Structures are given as C-alpha cells and as structure tokens.
C-alpha cells in the first residue's frame, strides 16, 4: 500500500471510530510567521527565519497540529475533506499532515505536534547525543544548524539538503551535499537522522527500508510516526 494511502486509511479509521464524520468541524490550515512558529531563538539561521520554509498549523477542536513545508495553502477543511484531497503536492500534503496531527492530538493518539520556541531549539540539540549516540557515521537529512553543530562535535557527519543556497557551503566543518548524494550517503552511514518534513515533501520513502536505523526529528512527523511505527526525536516539542 502507498504510504500516503496508509496514512489516509488510518485517519479514516479514527474518524469513523470516534464519530467525527459529518460533524460541522473545520480544520483551519494557515501558515504561521517565523515568530509564531519558533519564537525568538538566539540564532537567526533556521530555515523558517530565512524564509525557506513555513510552518502550517491546523486547529481541530482546539488541538493544534503543525507541519514544515516549502509550499502551503491557507484553507478550511472539514475532517471528511482530508480523506478526499489528492496528496500529489507538498502544498496538499502539508494540509493533510498538519490536519492529521491536529486530529490525532485531539484524540490523544500522539503528542509533540507544536514546535518548540525561543531557547528550546538549542536545548533540544544539547540532548541529541543521548538519542543518537556518539562516534558514529551519521547522515543528517535537512540542514538544522543546531543539530549539525552538535552532531559534528560528537560524530562523523554527512548532510544533504534541498536548499540550493546551502549546498556546497560548509557549516560546522561539514559541507552540505545535494539530494543527488542521498543514496551514496545512506550506504556510507551507520544511522540516518532525517527531518520529519520528508513526509510532506515526499522524500520520506528514500529513508525507509534501507536496513539502516533511522530517526525522524521534529513535530511534522508526529502523527505519521504513530501510524508507521517510526522512531522519532523531538525533545522540546509541545
């Protein structure tokens, strides 16, 4: 079964189980400003602050679900609409994933669906060694500056990113590689540490069933991780 169909089927099952279908409840999806999403962190080099990504937030019965994406729509969805929308673009997948996160959070099926703020991203990075370990060959998927700093100080790291402005540049002693190097880097590494936003941009399947341990980080993957039984890291998420 297609990964997104599996997520859709799981959401449909919960909607039916809890009698949410047909109720006049909206999931309001909107893009947050950088400050709304992550507050005022000490550093200004995060992709959302640089304008490379946005945080989409869905609200369902007061429960919030978020998803990072490079393409979004401001839209109102009924819960049933999520089950019908075509998941053929990052824009649509961002609405679906944030909406699913909100519904699952409302049903207490997952937690950490709201991004940490201010000094917390730095605190999150400090706790990485406990989750990832040290002395390993780690592939970082998605340039998260604080994570790269910590990983590079404790492990041998390669990093791939989709942002053309980062590719070929050196951060924390690591040169960012293009996505075309992903397959080679997977063969090289002991562990894959990938952004959960891969479930929105559609590249998540590149990191599954690779016979390598993989940890997905961040709030975007919260609901999907429960359905797909994925290992995650999100130390300071709410």
How confident is the model at residue 227, as a pLDDT? 97
Residues in contact with 97: Cβ distance below 8 Å, sequence separation at least 6, in sequence order: 7, 65, 67, 199, 200, 220, 223, 224
Instruction: Give the torsion sign (CA, 81, 5, 116, 43).
Output: negative
pLDDT tens for the chain, residues 1 to 238? 699 999 999 999 999 999 998 765 666 666 666 565 445 544 444 444 334 568 888 999 999 999 988 877 878 888 898 899 899 999 899 999 999 999 999 999 999 998 877 677 778 778 888 889 999 999 999 988 889 999 999 999 999 998 888 899 898 899 999 999 999 999 999 999 999 999 999 999 999 989 999 999 999 999 999 999 999 998 878 8
Helices (H), the chain: 3-17, 34-38, 79-84, 90-106, 120-126, 128-132, 145-154, 182-188, 198-201, 222-228
- Report the distance separating Cα 189 and Cα 206, nearest Å: 14
How confident is the model at residue 103, as a pLDDT? 95
Residue 192 three-state SS: strand
Q: What is the pLDDT of residues 187-199, one digit of tens each?
A: 999 999 999 999 9
Rg over CA atoms, the chain: 17
Class level of CATH domain 120-233: alpha beta
How confident is the model at residue 218, as a pLDDT? 93
How confident is the model at residue 95, as a pLDDT? 92
In terms of DSSP bridges, do strands 54-60 and 26-32 run parallel, antiparallel, or are they unpaired? antiparallel
How confident is the model at residue 39, as a pLDDT? 52
What is the pTM assigned to this prediction? 0.89
How confident is the model at residue 238, as a pLDDT? 84
How confident is the model at residue 213, as a pLDDT? 96
Delimit the domains of the chain by residue range. 3-106, 120-233
How confident is the model at residue 30, as a pLDDT? 63
How confident is the model at residue 118, as a pLDDT? 67
Structure-token match 């599996």, residue found: 6
How confident is the model at residue 49, as a pLDDT? 38
How confident is the model at residue 50, as a pLDDT? 39
């Amino acid at each position: 079964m297609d990964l997104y169909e599996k997520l859709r089927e799981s959401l449909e099952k919960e909607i039916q189980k809890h009698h949410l279908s047909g109720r006049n409840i909206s999931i309001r999806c909107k893009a947050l400003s950088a400050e709304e999403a992550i507050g005022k962190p000490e550093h200004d080099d995060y992709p959302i602050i640089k304008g490379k990504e946005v945080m989409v937030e869905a609200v369902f019965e007061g429960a919030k679900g978020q998803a990072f994406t490079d393409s979004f729509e401001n839209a109102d969805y009924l819960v049933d609409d999520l089950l019908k929308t075509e998941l053929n673009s990052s824009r649509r997948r961002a609405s679906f994933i944030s909406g699913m996160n909100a519904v699952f959070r409302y049903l207490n099926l997952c937690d950490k669906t709201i991004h940490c703020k201010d000094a917390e991203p730095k605190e999150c990075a400090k706790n990485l060694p406990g989750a990832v370990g040290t002395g390993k060959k780690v592939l970082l998927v998605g340039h998260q500056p604080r994570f790269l700093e910590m990983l590079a100080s404790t492990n041998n790291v390669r990093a791939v990113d989709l942002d053309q402005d980062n590719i070929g540049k050196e951060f924390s002693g690591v040169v960012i590689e293009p996505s075309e190097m992903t397959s080679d880097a997977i063969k090289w590494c002991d562990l894959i540490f990938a952004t959960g936003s891969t479930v929105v941009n559609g590249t998540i399947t590149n990191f599954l069933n690779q016979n390598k341990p993989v940890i997905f980080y961040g709030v975007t993957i919260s609901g999907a991780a429960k359905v797909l039984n994925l290992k995650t890291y999100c130390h300071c998420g709410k």
